[in-house]
Amino acid sequence: MPNVIQYIIRRLILVVVLMWIVSMVTFAIFFLIPSATGTSPAVLFAGKAPTPDTVKSVEIKFGLKDSIPVQYAHFVEGIFVGRHFDNGADKSYCPPPCLGFSFVNNQPVWNEITSDLPVTLSLAAGASIMWLVSGTAIGVLSALKRRSFFDRAAMGLALAGVSLPIYFTGLVLLDLISYNWQILPNVHYVGFTDNPLSWARNMLLPWISLTFLYAALYARLTRAGMLETMSEDYIRTARAKGLSESRVITRHALRAALTPIVTIFGLDLGQLLGGAILTEYTFGLIGIGHLSIDAISRQDLPVIMGVTLFAAFFIVFANLVVDVLYAFVDPRVRYS
Amino acid sequence: MRRNRLVRYGTATAVLALLVAGCGSSSSGGNNATPKPKAADNVFNAGTTGIRNVSAKKGGTLNFIADGDCDYWDPARTYYGFCWDMQRLFSRGLMAYAAAPGDAGLNVVPDLATAQGSSPDGKNWTYHLKSGIKFEDGSPVTSKNIKYGIERVFAQSVINGGPTYVITFLCPGPINNSGGCDAYKGPYADTDPNHLGLSTIDTPDDNTIVFHLNKVVGDWNYIMALPASTPVPIAYDQSPKGGAHYTDHPYSTGPYKFDTYTAGKSLTLVRNPMWSSGNDPFRKALPDKIVFTVDANDDDIDQRIFTNIADVNIAGTGVQPTAQTKILTNPTLKARADNPVTGATRYLAIESKVAPFDNVHCRRAVQYAVSKVDWQTARGGPIGGGQVATSMLNPTVKGYTQFDAYPDNNGNGDVAKAKQELAACGKPNGFTTHLASQNSGKGTRVATAVQAALKRVGINAIIDLGNAATYYSQFIGAPAVNRSKGRGLMVAGWGADWPTGYGFFSSLIDGRKILPQGNSNYSETNDPKINQMIDQAVATTDANKAGQIWGEVDKQLMTVDATLVPMTWDKALVINSQNVTNAYILSSLLGIYDFQALGHV
Amino acid sequence: MTAPLDVQGSATEAQPEAVLGGVEAKAIEGRSLGQIAWMRLKRDKLAIVGGIVVILLLLIAIFAGVISSLAGQDPYAYHSNLIDPNLSTPKGGFGGMSLDHLLGVEPISGRDIFSRILYGARVSMIIAFLATGVSVIIGVSVGVVAGYFGGVVDQLLSRLMDLLLAFPLLLFAIALVYVIGDSSLVGLSDNNTRIFVLVIIIGFFNWPYIGRIIRGQTLSLREKEYIEAARSLGASSPRILFREILPNLVGPILVYSTLIIPTNILFEAALSFLGVGVRPPQASWGAMLSDAAQGLFQIDPEYMIVPGAALFITVIAFNLFGDGLRDALDPRSNR
């Protein structure tokens, strides 16, 4: 077990290093390139017809005149101890973890992220359960009934699923189910704690769209994994021992086939939590993905920075969890 | 559907135009009476001339909805039309727009003031306050609070975003090159211990305020109807909760006050017990509560209004194509809808300093070549988009005379005439130029429409798309950049900040107001004759005469300079839920419903 | 196999191993590999259909201008007269389909959809193919170097690939287009600049996937006897790389390229959908869908269905063909 702990610590260090590099690269892209092209981010914050005076005071307040490394240092410092943005009487405080201060909405980026997070969480949680269950179930059935009509239909559908962009699937579903048949409401986020039923009814279309997209892949992978393991020797042995077919499938074949599924699931979930941009955009859900697109189109640099780091964190963290889990699940993996 | 939220007019530089139809100063004298409510039949567009569902019933909750939050709730910082309308619910200024449908709504009436401001010379303006006005915490409102509120606008490093006319006219020293005031920097940097150091405003007693302007301004009563003339509590604003954070909870003097507010999400307004209807000239204060929710999905907003879940789309920019189809094909729905002219003119600015547009014939070629009908279709057609414009001034304007300097085959363009002008310009085979527009749905569509129309005469326009959020301030607001990038054509929209010719034309074509940054004279029009006519009109206190001059300015601009190509006068198709009573369009604020008058069935 | 393009890249990362796991092992054995593969491919009817569609698409992309002018249509011309001015929708049913306008006209502008679909195909193909080229060049170079030299070099390059995979890709791509998309580069005119930027961005974000596979392949090839033999005969590293290893990687490179193209098509469409793809008035399927999504699909569903179908057919054709090619080159995965 100390091996495991060592391994985890090593991975954690790697996570920190990765996050550090991601943050530096992001910072460079958004602060170096605009300054090279000669636009000051302060202009945006300074209102619609800013005078040079206004721009100057905004630059002072947010320290935009400091050199890029100094700005970066302040940024990192803010994450741990918070930051004060002062310019004379104009004071703003950004408590830790301070990911910056939104130019446009005039509030800490962290607040924006946390207020949009429930939408993304709901989206990712519901959809991931749906696609995981349906994807693996279809995959197992397809593998067991290989070359049957069901198998062919399911794999055809799976191919269609990965070939259709979510915004198209989403729009078709919206048009038919919500607009023409009015079975489900026009997607509109309702807090889970406000009204769980309404929450689910509203999230159902985005969930289905995401499921159609992801379940396809999971079904294909499960099927392939099952077929592969079913031909392995130990399955034959298990059968020869006289184990029931259902036991062979669930205990042995499925288990082995699921290992890669777990890996991918962790990564997909990590990516989704960082913002399902297209899904949120298609359905008009204001989650992390929508926040990031808005921030980019308004050039709200601190928000872009914050969201990118936030999303990267989920991805890196999911990677870590997957690796560690994998190490537990699959004895062949060594912690080295 | 989503991106439209960045295209609201509010995001356009200086907001809304709306020129006075009845003459502004004709409403002089102390006539405080609210215009008699005129009930409207339940027919299409009835809310533009009368009041729909007249009712005096109090109580209930009105649900407001929009695809974005206000830029600021701070009265000195907001610059969105619908936010100015929202301000009427909780802030009272010296003056306010009359609460009436139709042209009557273009007039200003005294709100906190006892009467219209009076001035013997057009430079020194005196107002007296009504007695018994209180802030939401019960403390009395004095003339010093109003002075303080106006002083805040001078603190541009903190209180930015809003209109800055008071700086221009009240700066104790000269106005610097960038339009700022070096002599007074606002109450946060004030040497006066009471933060009332602006020498050009006197408060001889708690009920009197006197403005000493640096030039004659006939429209001062209109400027005092801008939200920034609302009183601000000095101690509170100087505390950490004030200043830049005042926008999170502006102190109410109106019938409603802030209860809870989450930026970018929602706002709840509840009754303000300190407000009394006795000294308010018009506010109805019918519902007990008003809840405003932001919903990024425009189609969802329409859907919610149709199903009476939400009551009013306060952005007022009109319904989406889906809802438009629904309304126009369903007589019952259509009878509930209104189609006001919003007052903004959509136009194409021709940068007269970019070759070959330094030659008037090349500018005229564009005037003839564009297809205003295609532009209109791109903006949503005659109902959802707007009506084809033949001149820059809106038809509602005093002094507007119908004329068309470039008759063009019913708005489709006159290709032959355009080619003649091109030949006269020395470019018979056309030329290549750049066309700037916003990277939003309509911005892109309009640009491609112009591009396709110009291609017919050989003008090849390369489209440069700018961010909607910074389009006016950064993208086309710097003439030097436009010149260096060869941007000969720029898609723009314009409305004035108050309904007279001054607000409409002054920043748009005054050759002396070409700023290096944040410029609004995109075409760099600098015609001495126009400049001289502007000065003449501003100093004219007789609104009728001023209106005539503005009409002449329009003609001079169109025929001689030809630097702006008027395309459409905006219209919007709007509808409320069936819960809403007392609805009518307030013409002075972008043609949106007058929120303070609305009630719940 | 295409990445579910919500959060770009997500599953693609794992897919190479999963889907191409077989290729890694022994795709490259046997002398007449090409012939064997071709025989196998011929038997796979779906793959053949996919291949034919791919070839047709390429022809359409190349001759978009000729075909649309034969049809007498200009993809950029407005036809306001075909639009109901109050409703913004095409007059007549079925999205304004007629003999003149085979696939109807766009709502609002009245532009001919048929010719815009053709030009959109061109944009899609150019971007997808060039971006794939970029990915393959970077991915193969890095993968081969990492796999062949191993040790510290491998460690560094592998971590670099991990790092890139940790970026929220779609978000980053959008932001990059915003930041550099409008700068004028190396004398290219505006629309070409944007295409160039898109190619670079899409290509750049995809190379780690191919890099990982090539690294794995190279690792196993390096241990092969004939490489050992070449080395002991004193062949230089470049010689071994170019003469011995690269030729043996052609198979997986081909397969992977075919499979990455649809991903790139979807990536371009997604960027256009989000408003950061090619610039108007150039046609793009993603941009058309984006337009339809802005409240138009409910009043004119044809406008959503036509580009959606074009995208679907293209992507599925490439996927079928790619799957078939992989199966043909790798008997093990041929189930």
DSSP state, residue C189: -
CA separation for the pair A18, A155 (Å, rounded): 37
CB within 8 Å: B188 and A89: yes
Chains contacting chain A through 3 or more C-beta pairs under 8 A: B, C
| Domains and their CATH numbers in chain B | 12-291+574-600 (3.40.190.10), 341-571 (3.10.105.10)
Q: Band of the pLDDT at C17, cuts 50, 70, 90?
A: very low
Of the two residues A262 and C128, the one the predictor is more confident about is: C128
Number of other CB atoms surrounding residue B542 within 10 Å: 12
Cβ-proximal residues to C149 (8 Å cutoff; 6+ apart), any chain: C237
**SS3 label, residue C92:** coil
Which of chain C's residues have a Cβ under 8 Å away from the Cβ of A221? 18
Asked whether the predicted pLDDT for residue C195 surpasses 60, the reply is yes
Query: Measured in whole angstroms, how far is the alpha carbon of residue B242 from the centre of its chain?
Result: 26
Query: Measured in whole angstroms, how far is the alpha carbon of residue B547 from the centre of its chain?
Result: 19
State the pLDDT at residue A2. Answer: 63
Tell me which residues of chain B have a pLDDT lower than 70.
Answer: 1-38, 396-398, 469
CA separation for the pair B173, B214 (Å, rounded): 9
Is A324 near chain C, with CB under 8 Å?
Answer: no
Cis before A185 (ω within 30): no
| Closest residue by Cα to residue A323 from A270, A266, A261 | A266
Is B455 near chain C, with CB under 8 Å?
Answer: yes
Cβ-proximal residues to A1 (8 Å cutoff; 6+ apart), any chain: none
DSSP state, residue B52: B
Asked whether the predicted pLDDT for residue C27 surpasses 60, the reply is no
Amino acid at C146: A
Tokens (6 digits) for A7: 């391994």
Cis before B227 (ω within 30): no
State the pLDDT at residue C333. Answer: 46
DSSP state, residue A29: I
DSSP state, residue C241: I
Average pLDDT, chain C: 80
Is A253 near chain C, with CB under 8 Å?
Answer: no
Amino acid at B488: G
The structure tokens 């139809």 sit at B21
CB within 8 Å: B1 and C293: yes
| Closest residue by Cα to residue C171 from A277, A30, A300 | A277
Q: Give kind and range of the element (H or E) at residue B290.
A: strand B289-294
Is B408 near chain C, with CB under 8 Å?
Answer: no
Q: What percent of chain C lies above the pLDDT cut of 70?
A: 84
How distant, in Å, are the alpha carbons of A91, B22, B253, C89 from that of B193?
20, 44, 25, 64
Sheet holding B256-262, edge to edge: B256-262, B266-271, B289-294, B61-66, B312-313
| Closest residue by Cα to residue B237 from B249, B222, B225, B227 | B249
Which of chain A's residues have a Cβ under 8 Å away from the Cβ of C5? 165-166, 278
| Closest residue by Cα to residue B225 from B455, B410, B25, B35 | B25
The structure tokens 């009487």 sit at A89
| Closest residue by Cα to residue A217 from C330, C14, C202, C128 | C14
Tokens (6 digits) for C83: 């639009």
- The Cα of C312 is separated from the nearest Cα of chain A by a number of Å equal to 6
Is C279 near chain B, with CB under 8 Å?
Answer: yes
Is C298 near chain A, with CB under 8 Å?
Answer: yes
Report the residue of A163, A298, A314, A315 to disrupt the C interface, i.e. the one with the largest count of C CBs within 10 Å. Answer: A163
Cβ-proximal residues to B120 (8 Å cutoff; 6+ apart), any chain: none
Q: Band of the pLDDT at C141, cuts 50, 70, 90?
A: very high
pLDDT tens digits, one per residue of A280-326: 988 888 889 888 888 877 777 788 888 888 888 888 888 788 777 77
Tell me which residues of chain A have a pLDDT lower than 70.
Answer: 1-2, 32-54, 88-90, 103-104, 327-336
Which of chain B's residues have a Cβ under 8 Å away from the Cβ of A46? 160, 473
State the pLDDT at residue B467. Answer: 73
pLDDT tens digits, one per residue of C204-219: 888 888 898 888 888 8
Query: Quick one: CA torsion of A52, A58, A62, A68, rounded to 10 degrees?
Result: -10
CA separation for the pair B233, B252 (Å, rounded): 10
- Note the residue count of chain C: 335
Tokens (6 digits) for B290: 């008003």
CB within 8 Å: A284 and B14: no
State the pLDDT at residue B336. Answer: 94
Is B382 near chain C, with CB under 8 Å?
Answer: yes
CB within 8 Å: A284 and B157: no
Nearest to C11 among A167, A268, A312 (CB): A268
Report the residue of A37, A45, A51, A304 to disrupt the B interface, i.e. the one with the largest count of B CBs within 10 Å. Answer: A51
CA separation for the pair A84, A78 (Å, rounded): 9
Contact (Cβ atoms closer than 8 angstroms) between residue B385 and residue B378 = yes
State the pLDDT at residue C3. Answer: 39
CA separation for the pair A128, A213 (Å, rounded): 11
Residue A331 burial class via C-beta count within 10 angstroms: exposed 0-12, middle 13-18, buried 19 and up: exposed
CB within 8 Å: B439 and C189: no
CA separation for the pair A155, C321 (Å, rounded): 15
State the pLDDT at residue B223. Answer: 93
Nearest to A34 among C179, C270, C297 (CB): C179
Which of chain C's residues have a Cβ under 8 Å away from the Cβ of B445? 108-109
Which of chain B's residues have a Cβ under 8 Å away from the Cβ of A107? 263
- Note the residue count of chain B: 601
CA separation for the pair B185, B167 (Å, rounded): 10
pLDDT tens digits, one per residue of C237-277: 888 888 888 888 888 888 888 888 998 999 999 998 887 88
Half-sphere exposure of A161 (CA within 13 A, CB side): 22
Question: What ranges in chain A are assigned the alpha helix state H?
Answer: 2-27, 33-37, 41-45, 52-61, 68-81, 109-144, 149-163, 166-173, 196-230, 233-240, 245-247, 254-273, 277-283, 288-297, 301-329
Amino acid at B90: F
CB within 8 Å: B160 and A298: no
CA separation for the pair B212, B169 (Å, rounded): 9
CB within 8 Å: B320 and C295: yes
Rg of the Cα trace of chain B? 23
CA separation for the pair B402, B389 (Å, rounded): 10
